[in-house]
Amino acid sequence: MLHSNGIYIPKPGETRWYCHSHTISVLYDLLERTIENPQGWDDASISQASGLYHFMNSSLFCFLVHVFTKILEQSSLLYMVLQNRNTDFSYDCQKISAFGNVLSDLHTDSEYHHSFQSTVSLVGEPSCNADKRHNYKSLYFQLVDDILSMLSEMFLDCKNFTFLDLVNPCIFKQWRKGLPPDMLQSLKCQYGPLFHIPSASLYLQ
């Protein structure tokens, strides 16, 4: 039914956060079109679309969409960098750190107020009991804190593996004048017993 109406909802994997905001936009557009132009849709679909459309216009839902859209826009950039085989490991680490800085910048009262006021301008102040029950400020900071924590945990040992650039063919030319001591030290710390570092240095050059 969806494809026959020219509507395609993305089906990203669980780890592809960058697709989620686009999925929400497509879904919202789908619901709006279904309600405004019910021709070709059965009564059950129209009823379900109306219910979902109402839910998606709630203060809480719009607030969460607004917050996550800002986060997902930045995480999508990081995702594309990490998926690019032509980038070096050090650059990846820089981008991970940059994403962490973006999250830290979002962790402010002014950013919270901007998100909340954007929601109010779109759907008005929280009015129903379900929306009023939530402490939006507490929820906002909890979300940012949780994502910062997950990012830190996921890439906790990132800096311990800078030696991986030693075997990156895209940047071999950089090692003609000598291998970086910090990368050799990283290799020694992580896998010293498995390598004879002087021999590895000569081989890599």
Q: For 125-155, what is each residue's pLDDT tens digit? A: 888 777 787 899 999 999 999 999 999 888 8
What total of structural domains would you count in the chain? Answer: 2
Residues 22 and 40 in one domain: yes
pLDDT of 113 above 90: yes
If asked whether residues 18 and 61 sit together in one domain, one would say: yes
Sign of the torsion formed by the C-alpha atoms of 111, 116, 120 and 123:
positive
pTM across the whole model:
0.67
- Are 65 and 50 part of one and the same domain? yes
Q: Report the 10 Å Cβ neighbour count for 33.
A: 15
Q: Say if residue 152 is in the same domain as residue 166.
A: no
Provide the domain limits for residue 23: 3-156
Q: Are residues 50 and 134 in the same domain?
A: yes
